[in-house]
Amino acid sequence: MIAISAVIAEIPSLEIVELTGWIERHWVIPETSEDGDYLFQEIDVARVRLIHDLRYMLEVEEDTMPVLLGLLDQVYELRSRMKSLMRAVDTQPEPVRQAILVALGGT
C-alpha cells in the first residue's frame, strides 16, 4: 500500500488538496487505514496518473471527468468480461470452439 504523500511525491505537479478532491468526488477510491489515512494500491496510483494526465495534458474539464471516467470504467469492465469469456471458450472441446468461431463469422 502506498501513502498519499508517496503518491504526491510521484506526481510533483499534483497538490494534496486536489487529490483529496478527486477522492471526495470518487474519481479514485483508495482504502482508508485505521487512523484515517488514505492508502493506495498500484492500480489507484495508475488511476491518479490517468486523471492527472486527462486534466492537464488533455485539458479535460472538471465537469466532463465523471462522464469520461465512467466510460473508461465501462471499457475496463467489458475488457475483463471478454477475457473471462475467452478463458471459458478455451476450456471447451475443439468442436465447440469451432462452432463459436463460425457463429461469430470467423473461419
**Tens digit of pLDDT for each residue in 25-67?**
999 999 999 998 999 999 999 999 999 999 999 999 999 999 9
Predicted confidence (pLDDT) at residue 102 exceeds the cutoff of 60: yes
Q: Do 51 and 80 belong together in one domain? A: no
Would you state the pLDDT for residue 106? 64
**CA 18/CA 34 separation, integer angstroms:** 23
Would you state the pLDDT for residue 12? 86
Q: Do 40 and 92 belong together in one domain? A: no
Q: Do 54 and 81 belong together in one domain? A: no
Phi/psi for 17 (5° steps) reads: -65, -40
pLDDT band at residue 105 using 50, 70 and 90 as cut-offs: confident
Q: Which residues contact 15 (CB under 8 A, 6 or more apart)?
A: 8
Determine, yes or no, domain membership for 31.
Answer: yes
> How many structural domains does the chain have?
2
Helix ranges, 11-64 (H): 16-24, 42-56
Q: How many CA atoms lie within 13 A of 106 on its CB side?
A: 6
Q: Do 42 and 3 belong together in one domain? A: yes
Would you state the pLDDT for residue 107? 55
| Nine-digit cell string for 30 | 483508495
**CA 53/CA 65 separation, integer angstroms:** 12
Length of the chain: 107
| Nine-digit cell string for 22 | 478527486
Mean pLDDT of the chain: 94
- For residue 80, the enclosing domain spans 74-107
Q: Do 20 and 51 belong together in one domain? A: yes
Q: How many CA atoms lie within 13 A of 46 on its CB side?
A: 3
| Nine-digit cell string for 32 | 482508508
